[in-house]
Structure 1
Amino acid sequence: MFKPNYQITNKILLSIASIEASREFIEHAPLVPYWERQFREDAAVRIAHHTTALEGNPLSLEEARTIWEGDESLVTAQTGHVQEVINYRSVIKYVEGLKTTSNRITEEHLNKIHEYVVTNVVPENEVRGYRTGWYGTRNSTTGEVSFVAPNPEDVLDLIKDFFEWTAGEEGDQTHPILRAGITIAEIARIHPFTEGNGRSARALGTASLYLDGYDIKRFFSLDEYYDQNASGYYDAIQTYQKSDDVLTTWLEFFASGLEIELKRVKERVLKMSRDHQLQREIGQVALNDRQEEILQYIEVNHAFRNVDFEELFPNISDDTVLRELKDMMDKGVIKKEGKTKASKYVLR
């Protein structure tokens, strides 16, 4: 039976407290729908880019964004590298949809995530099913064996044991943040597949957070933190694989990473929210939802021009947008600079 071995240290407790504070702020931040969509889209692209980059994919963030938007023909790169990003688009869509059908991660979820990760990247016979061969890694400098995965004959039992734990009383009573971190580490340690283990483990960890109510509007990308701290990520996760299966160091790293990422998201949300000076200028002026979106657009981009109408309001006529702008000028919130189509609207 799987029984995770770790201690809840002060470092872990402090990270969890900070995570909860950021979560509370982000979930109650008064962002309009347009910016929530932008945040989610940006986070999804960053996840797809950084989780594949962590495994050696050389594509840039902008190339990943181009692929994400369906313009992969514009990216000059090896087909396999492009396919990895395309695949992760499917992974994210699948993970985001789990909340409507599940309340806890399962073996079926792991296998489906892995299938999405490696489709058209590995031979067809490796897309489904667990590995049948041995796996190990060596230090490229010293030649020392740094990790040996469990016997392939034990993989199925280890996977069954893990998911029995997540579905059982002990797993259920484990804090959601710790449970997600344990998920990533244990799936990576078992190394159940021939290829795509790291990406599958991290996606399942994210799914665990989402199903436990820690989707946090889907604004965050843990994989970005891991990619930017790759040596720290691998060092931390290998302490679990090498030190009699003690998870403490890894969980400290995992909780700290989520803490740092959510603080970063919180700062971005703060920039989108009205600052105190703007609050004083506007006072108690009543703005409708559309005018709120225009106001936040100007805060970020410093101006709102005629050419921006369709980007912000793709299904609304120009005349309607102009009426909203006139009302905002009459209320003293914004002013118009310039004439004709070259004009722009800025804060007063």
Structure 2
Amino acid sequence: MYSPKYLISNKILKTVGSIEASKEIIENAPLVPSFEKQFQSDAMIRTIHHGTHIEGNDLTLYQTKKVLEGAEVYARARDIQEVVNYRDVAKLLDELAVKRGGYDPDMLKDVHRATVDRIVVPDKIGVFRTTEVVIKEEGTGRVIFSPPPSHEVPYLLEDFFAWLNDAEARESHPIIRAGIAHYILVTIHPFVEGNGRTVRAFASLI
């Protein structure tokens, strides 16, 4: 079974503590329902904007807001679809958070389907890759990372999920587990396309 090796530094402890303190304040803040709904909406818009922007989406924060409101926006069809998909992913994560009893590869596939719907060719959606891929540096085309061979993907994922569901792993703070999950899944690179967005979404579920 996969066993991560990592060091929890003072900086990590301080950051986790700060997040926990902020979470406590937010959860116990006496908010007027209408304000709470507005804050949630604003947070969702910003999350979707930055989550897609990091992957090269050119929509501004304002355009992202308009797309989510159903308004017509003049932009690349792919950019608009990525924003719509990210909203659907957020809804899916809420559903999975309620239903889950553990984590498994099918859950990761479900997140991928919602993430790349109408962006990736149908036979590559929600399917682990069976071909080799490389990560290239933008501009130069230089190969900067070669993920594991495709035939190793199922076994690597099996080991990873065995660890993620293990009782000992569950004793770790969710933020630590989410960080490890993000690192390992991006390294495995289980899909042909859409790994970054899928993995970030899955990590937030943890």
TM-score w.r.t. length of structure 1: 0.57
Match of 2:97 in 1: 99
2:86 partner amino acid = Y
Aligned mate of 1:145, from 126, 143, 167 = 143
Aligned mate of 1:155, from 137, 153, 156 = 153
Match of 1:185 in 2: 183
Aligned-partner Cα distance in 2 for 1:99–1:202: 15
Q: Deviations over 1:19-56 (max 9, x none)?
A: 12111111111111111111111111112111111100
Aligned-partner Cα distance in 2 for 1:2–1:124: 31
Aligned mate of 1:79, from 77, 80, 85 = 77
Aligned-partner Cα distance in 2 for 1:142–1:113: 31
Confirm or deny: 8 A CA contact 1:105 1:207 kept in the other structure.
no
SS in 2 for 1:64: helix
Confirm or deny: 8 A CA contact 1:132 1:153 kept in the other structure.
yes
Question: What's the offset of the Cα at 1:144?
Answer: 4.7
- Structure 1 outlier segments of 4+, above 4 Å: 140-144
Change (3 A) 1:79 1:138: closer
Confirm or deny: 8 A CA contact 1:137 1:146 kept in the other structure.
yes
Aligned mate of 1:121, from 119, 122, 130 = 119
- Give the percent of matched residue pairs that are identical in Structure 1 and Structure 2: 41
Q: Deviations over 1:269-306 (max 9, x none)?
A: xxxxxxxxxxxxxxxxxxxxxxxxxxxxxxxxxxxxxx
RMSD: 1.5
SS in 1 for 2:46: helix
Match of 1:8 in 2: 8
Question: What's the offset of the Cα at 1:158?
Answer: 0.9
Q: Deviations over 1:172-229 (max 9, x none)?
A: 1221110011111111111100111000000011111xxxxxxxxxxxxxxxxxxxxx
Change (3 A) 1:136 1:12: same
Aligned-partner Cα distance in 1 for 2:203–2:185: 9
Match of 2:26 in 1: 26
1:172 partner amino acid = R
Question: What's the offset of the Cα at 1:103?
Answer: 4.5
Confirm or deny: 8 A CA contact 1:106 1:163 kept in the other structure.
yes
Match of 1:279 in 2: none
2:97 partner amino acid = K
Change (3 A) 1:14 1:78: same
User: How many residues are treated as equivalent by the alignment?
Assistant: 206
